[in-house]
Amino acid sequence: MKKVTGAALLLALGLTGCVENDPSTLMADDNGVVHRTTHYLRDRRGRDYFPVQAPATGKKQFIFDPKAFAWAAYDPDGHRVMTGSASGGKDYCEDVGQPCRTVTGTFRVYNKRNVDCRSGEFPVETYGGAKMPYCMYFYQGYTVHAAFEVPYANTSHGCVRVFPSAAKWLNEEFMTIGTQVTILPYPDEE
């Protein structure tokens, strides 16, 4: 995959410069406590950041910007369909002793799983098992998946975390095998 600078990628995607659904769901956290996830009503991250219209590509696109901690979904005609909060990989993960940033560039979804998706690698101590509901794989094990906490910081081991209601919608209603996933550069990569 080709690595591109943030400015070049934004220009190539025509992003210079939402229609919100409310796919509320019930999900259980790690302790089995059930939560209703209606984060879209409160989650406005990305709404003022990503343009409402991008160039039509004839393909659905998911775009994550680790600088804005936000994502946007565009239909094949370039209309922004949804935005939301996201958190990517952090600069350095102590448990693995290396950087954990999300890979940047343009990829395609190659596998999807449902609410029962789990990591095969993390936590490191148990060789996997961490919950990654509604995971959508886009590059060598990197996924977009649900998380109950999506802070204004990049805190993962490399995956893109979104709220459960967003992950469910993306997985069941928007992303299909082959959907384009674009991860914009981190601030110091431009």
pLDDT reading at 133 higher than 70: yes
Asked whether residue 135 is assigned to any structural domain, the reply reads: yes
pLDDT reading at 31 higher than 50: yes
pLDDT of residue 109: 98
pLDDT tens readout for residues 73-104: 999 999 999 999 999 999 999 988 999 999 99
pLDDT of residue 32: 53
Domain, as residue range, for 97: 6-189
pLDDT reading at 5 higher than 60: no
Looking at the structure of the chain, the number of domains it has is 1
pLDDT band at 135 (very low <50, low <70, confident <90, very high): very high
Contact 170, 181 (CB under 8 A): no
Query: Hey, what amino acid is at 100?
Result: C
Asked whether residue 124 is assigned to any structural domain, the reply reads: yes
Q: What phi and psi, each to the nearest 5 degrees, are found at residue 129?
A: 110, -10
pLDDT band at 11 (very low <50, low <70, confident <90, very high): very low
For the segment 39-62, the average pLDDT, to the nearest whole number, is: 83
Grouping H, G, I as helix, E, B as strand and the rest as coil, residue 139 is: strand
Q: What phi and psi, each to the nearest 5 degrees, are found at residue 22?
A: -130, 75
44: left (phi over 0), alpha (psi -120 to 50) or beta: alpha
Asked whether residue 1 is assigned to any structural domain, the reply reads: no
In this structure, of 11-15, 58-62, 84-88, 183-187, the range with the lowest mean pLDDT score is: 11-15
- Residue found by looking up tokens 């914009």 in the block: 184
What is the CATH number for 180?
2.40.440.10
Tokens of 157: 């081991």
Percent share of the chain, pLDDT over 70:
73
Model pTM score: 0.77
pLDDT of residue 58: 96
pLDDT of residue 142: 96
Grouping H, G, I as helix, E, B as strand and the rest as coil, residue 100 is: coil
What is the rounded distance in angstroms from the CA atom of residue 127 to the CA atom of residue 117? Answer: 15
pLDDT tens readout for residues 104-129: 999 999 999 999 998 877 666 766 56
Asked whether residue 179 is assigned to any structural domain, the reply reads: yes
Asked whether residue 41 is assigned to any structural domain, the reply reads: yes
Contact 139, 1 (CB under 8 A): yes
Grouping H, G, I as helix, E, B as strand and the rest as coil, residue 40 is: helix
Asked whether residue 17 is assigned to any structural domain, the reply reads: yes
What is the rounded distance in angstroms from the CA atom of residue 190 to the CA atom of residue 188? Answer: 6
Asked whether residue 86 is assigned to any structural domain, the reply reads: yes
pLDDT of residue 54: 93
